[in-house]
Amino acid sequence: MNPGGVHDALDPQGPGAAAIAELWWILLAVTGSATLLTFLVIVLALWRRRTETRSAGPAQARREWIFVFVAGGVIPSVLIFVLLIASFRTGARVSVPAGETALVVQVTGHMFWWEVVYPGHGIRTANEIHVPAGVPIELEVRSADVIHSFWVPSLHGKIDMIPGHRNRFWLQADRPGTYRGLCAEFCGLQHARMAFLFIALPPDEFESWAARLSATASGPEAAPAAAVERGRTVFLDRGCGTCHVFRGLSERGETGDVGPDLTHFAERRTIGAATIANTPENLARWITEPDLVKPGSRMPATRLEADELDALLALLGKRP
């Protein structure tokens, strides 16, 4: 399962994750050495207790008190203060973008998928965030239902998505690539399969992606017109439009925003929030038996005749 995308907080691909990974290594080095040293002293103490039978004189007792005070009080306090400074420094580094933000992307968490809106381009899509590489991106995150948490481990730390509240955040991918993102706050049955792809493109490729996505689609050009036409009828009559939007589909004005906007669906690499690859077979399975793919998802099963299913796949650009 789990199609596509790198997902590794310790192999940072952007300045945010790099700052956090650096702090992680500092914490590991300091706390790891402190733990090793503590165990060493314990072993030493046990060994000395076995071999030394003489009772200690007042001078030695004083030395031991000084040792306990310095090793148990002074050194830990200094170390904790150093770690405090290091985490403040990281906090400052990740809170301010590395430069002028090039783009605003609004991401809304839903049970269990991600709505992605580009207000500057008039694009509404789902479960995939395309951005230009090498520039800071501003993210505005919120939730439509419960608390979710937005996290792209290779690029930045996480941020909560809270109902009725907008959180701001920035991200940068240094190089083009596909990075896996995930929900980092337990939000229900399908929390573990609430993932997304964060796709950084060379700037010119991003521009052509944005131009394609902002155009209204009335069905893929490659599919036969008759099949697409039949697909429209199925989409509207079988209730797909209650939850989904397919821009340019009809004059009936479906405004369903319960589920992902399906305009340009064929462009997406995955189905069900990066749960399965976007292939015709998987899409057919997802439409007819979504609970087998994602138990507890909000997508109801749709009973369709074989030709209706084919027509729907043709409309979505996934003709088998």
Position 103: which residue type? L
* 107: contact with ligand CUA by CB under 6 A: no
Distance of CA 195 to the CA centre of its chain: 6
Rounded Cα distance between 247 and 254, Å, is: 9
Residue appearing with tokens 């009772």: 55
Task: Work out which of 187, 249, 262, 274 binds ligand CUA, going by CB under 6 A.
Answer: 187
Residues 122-161, interacting with ligand CUA (CB under 6 A): 148
How many residues touch ligand CUA under the rule CB under 6 A: the total is 9
Q: How many helices (H) and strands (E) does the chain have?
A: 9, 12
Q: Contact at 8 Å (CB) between 127 and 196?
A: yes
Task: Work out which of 115, 128, 185, 310 binds ligand CUA, going by CB under 6 A.
Answer: 185
* 194: contact with ligand CUA by CB under 6 A: yes
Tokens linked to 71: 């090793």
CB of 185 to ligand CUA, least distance (A): 5
Q: What are phi and psi of 139, to 5 degrees?
A: -115, 135
* 183: contact with ligand CUA by CB under 6 A: yes
CB of 106 to ligand CUA, least distance (A): 17
CB of 182 to ligand CUA, least distance (A): 8
CB of 23 to ligand CUA, least distance (A): 25
Host H or E run for residue 107: strand 103-110
| Identity of the residue, 130 or 191, whose beta carbon is nearer to ligand CUA in the bound complex | 191
| Identity of the residue, 150 or 235, whose beta carbon is nearer to ligand CUA in the bound complex | 150
CB of 279 to ligand CUA, least distance (A): 25
Residues 68-97, interacting with ligand CUA (CB under 6 A): none
| Identity of the residue, 151 or 235, whose beta carbon is nearer to ligand CUA in the bound complex | 151
Three-class SS of residue 179?
A: strand
- Contacting range for ligand CUA; rule: CB under 6 A; set: 47-55, 78-86, 184-192, 254-262: 184-192
116 forms beta bridges with 107, 125
Nearest CA to 245 among 128, 125, 162, 139? 125
CB of 283 to ligand CUA, least distance (A): 23
Position 140: which residue type? E
Rounded Cα distance between 170 and 101, Å, is: 8
CB of 309 to ligand CUA, least distance (A): 29
Residue appearing with tokens 């783009």: 103
| Identity of the residue, 23 or 139, whose beta carbon is nearer to ligand CUA in the bound complex | 139
Task: Work out which of 12, 16, 109, 132 binds ligand CUA, going by CB under 6 A.
Answer: 109
Host H or E run for residue 177: strand 177-183
Rounded Cα distance between 75 and 147, Å, is: 40
CB of 233 to ligand CUA, least distance (A): 34
Rounded Cα distance between 172 and 264, Å, is: 25
Residues lying near ligand CUA in the complex (CB under 6 A): 109, 112, 148, 183, 185-187, 191, 194
